[in-house]
Structure 1
Amino acid sequence: MKILERFSWNIKIAGILIFSSLVLYIVQTMIFREPKTELFYIGINMVFLPIEALIVVIIIQTGINEREKKLMLEKLNMVIGAFFSEVGTELLTEISKFDSKSTKTSKILIINSRWEDEDFEHAKKNINSLAHSLMIIPSNKEVADFLYQSKLFLQDKRMFLLALLENPNLLEHETFTDLLRAVFHLTEELDKRENTYDLPASDCEHLKEDVQRVYDLLIFEWLNYMEHLKNNYRYLFSLAMRTNPFDPNKTVVIKTVESSSNLD
C-alpha cells in the first residue's frame, strides 16, 4: 500500500512539472510569437537532455551513497561500542594483567581529553612496534584461574557474540570481523577443555597464541573506537577514559571540577 501511494505521488509530481512546462511554453510563444524558434531551442535542449540527466543522476547517487555509508559506519560503531561494553573492555582488563610490557603499554594507551587525531596515530604506531608478549606459562595458578574465568565469561557472552555476527554490516568492517573471529576461536578452545589446570606446556603455548591474537586485535580496535568517541561523542569518551582498562589508577568517580568538563 505504501509503495502504491508513493508511486501515485510520483505520478502527480511528474504531471505537475509537465503541465508547468507546457504552460510556460504557451506563455512564451504568445509573448514572442516565434514558435519555430522556440521549437528549435527545445530541440537543442533535448539533444543535451541525456547528458544533463546523467550528471544529475551521478550527483544524486553520489550523495545517497555517501549518506548510506555514513549511516552504516555509525551503526557499526554502535555495534563496536556494545561489544566493548559487554566483552571487549573486560577482556582487555584481564589479559593486560599478563602483559610483560604492561608499564610501556599503559604509558602509550592512557588517553586524555587533550588527545588529537595525531596522538591516536602516534599511539597506534608505538603500540604496533612494542611487540607484546603475554606471560601465560604452564603450571601457574594465576594463569589457570585466568583461563578458567575467561572460559566462563565467554560462555556467558556466547549469545551476545552470535547476535553481533547476524549484523550484515560487519562484512564492511574487516578488522572488527577478524577480532570477532579470534574471540570465537578462543571461546571454542577454552570450551573444549574441561580443566584449565595442569595443562601441558605445549597446550599452554597454543592457548597463549590464541589469547595473544585476541589481545593485539582488541587493542587496535579499542584505539579506533576511542578516537571515534573523542571526535563524535565527548560524554561517552569521558566514561571510556575513566574506565580505561590500561590505567592502573582508573576510577569512574569524577573527583575534580576539571574532570567534569569531559562530559560536555
Structure 2
Amino acid sequence: MKSFNWQVLLGATLLLLSILVYILHYLIFKDLHHILIFLVEDIAFVFVEVLLVTLIIHRVLQEREKKKRLEKLNMVIGAFFSEVGIGLLRLISGWDAQSENIEAALDTRQDTASEGYRKLCGYLRKHSYQIDQKKAELTKLKEFLGPKRDFLLRLLENPNLLEHGAFTDVLWAVFHLTEELEARETFDGLPASDSTHLCGDAGRVYGQLSRQWLNYMQHLEAAYPYLFSLSLRKNPFDRNASPIVQGPL
C-alpha cells in the first residue's frame, strides 16, 4: 500500500511539473498554437513508445531472462541425474518386462554418439514402461532412495523449477515413491494389491524419468557434446554400459 501511495505521489508531482513548464512556456513566448502542436505530437508518440518498450523490448528482455533461468535449471536437472536419476533408471529398467528387448534394440556401442541417441529416442519414446512384479526388488529400491530424500526436498524448494513443469512432475513422482517405500518396514508378505500399487508407482517414475532423461540428453547434445557423449556411454538402459570409448566418436 505504501509503495502504491509513493507511486501515485510521484506521478502527480511529475504531471504538475509538466503543467508548470507548459505555463512557463506560454508566459515567455505567448504562443499557444506552438504548444498545442508539440503537445499533440508528444502524445501521439507515447503510443509508439509503449509499443516499442512494452511489447517489443520488454518481450526480448523477458525471453533472454527466461533462457538464463532455463540454463540454470538444466544445471539442476544435471545434478539430479548425477545424484539420483541415472542410478534410479538403471535399477528400475532392470525390472522392465521387456528388458531383454531393450538391450537388443539399444546396442549403440558401434554407433556414433548422435546415431546412438537417435536409436535410443526412436525406441524409448514408443516404449510402454511396464514393470514385471517378479523382477521388482523393492527393498533394494528403498535402500537406494532413502538416503536421497533430503536431496529431493532441496530440489523441490528450488523456485526455478516453476519454469519446468515436466521435471517438477518427475520430482514429485520420485518423492512420492520414496515416501511409499519408507512407510513400509518390510516388503515380505505384502498382499498382491499392495505390491501392484508400489510397482505402479515405480512404473510411473520409470516412464516420466525416462522421457525426462531423453529431453536432458537432447539439451546436452546441443549445448555440451562432451557431456552428451559420456552420458550416452553410461546409458542406464544398457546392462553392459561402460564409460570406456569402444566405438566411433
Q: CA deviation at 1:93?
A: 0.4
* TM-fit CA distance, 1:39: 7.5
Size of the aligned set, in residue pairs, is: 215
Identity of aligned residues (%): 44
**How far did 1:42 drift?**
4.8
Provide TM-score, normalisation by structure 2. Answer: 0.76
1:162, distance to aligned residue in structure 2 (A): 0.4
Which residue matches 1:54?
Answer: 50
State the match for 1:123 in structure 2: 121
Partner of 2:215: 224
Distance in 1, Cα, partners of 2:106 & 2:166: 21
Tell me the distance in 2 between the aligned counterparts of 1:131 and 1:99: 9
Report how far residue 147 of structure 1 moved: 1.2
> Structure 2 regions of 5+ residues with no counterpart?
1-30
Give the alignment partner of residue 74 of structure 2, picking from 77, 81, 97.
77
Out of 148, 156, 175, the position equivalent to 1:165 is 156
Secondary structure of the equivalent of 1:246? Answer: coil
Question: Aligned partners of 2:193, 2:207: CA distance in 1, in Å?
Answer: 21
- Listed as ranges, the matches of 1:145-184 within 5 Å are 146-184=137-175
Mapped partners of 1:156, 1:116: distance in 2: 33
Change in Cα spacing, 1:212 to 1:39, as seen in structure 2 (3 Å) is same
Indicate the residue corresponding to 2:85 in structure 1.
88
Q: Which amino acid aligns with 1:247?
A: D
CA-CA distance at 1:175 after TM superposition: 1.4
Which amino acid in the other structure matches residue 63 of structure 1?
V
Specify the alignment match of 1:114 in structure 2. 114
* Cross-structure match for 2:20: none
| Contact 1:76–1:169, Cα closer than 8 Å, also in 2 | yes
Q: CA deviation at 1:207?
A: 0.9
Higher relative contact order (CA 8 A, sep 6+): 2
1:9 equivalent in structure 2: none
Kindly indicate whether residue 231 of structure 2 is the aligned counterpart of residue 240 of structure 1: yes
Q: Distance in 2 between matches of 1:128 and 1:155?
A: 29
Determine the structure 2 residue equivalent to 1:134.
131
1:68 to partner: Cα distance: 1.1
SS for the counterpart of 1:157 is helix
DSSP-derived class of the 1:129 partner: coil
TM-superposed CA distance for 1:129, in Å, is 3.5
Q: Answer yes or no: is the 8 Å Cα contact 1:147–1:196 preserved in 2.
A: yes
Superposed CA deviations along residues 4-37 of structure 1, whole A, max 9, x for unmatched, are xxxxxxxxxxxxxxxxxxxxxxxxxxxxxxx999
Does the Cα contact within 8 Å between 1:108 and 1:123 map onto a contact in 2? Answer: no
**3-state SS of paired residue (2:132):** coil
**Root-mean-square deviation (Å):** 2.9
* Partner residue, 2:206: 215
Match of 2:19 in 1: none
The separation in 2 between residues aligned to 1:182 and 1:85, in whole angstroms, is: 18
Change (3 A) 1:194 1:246: same
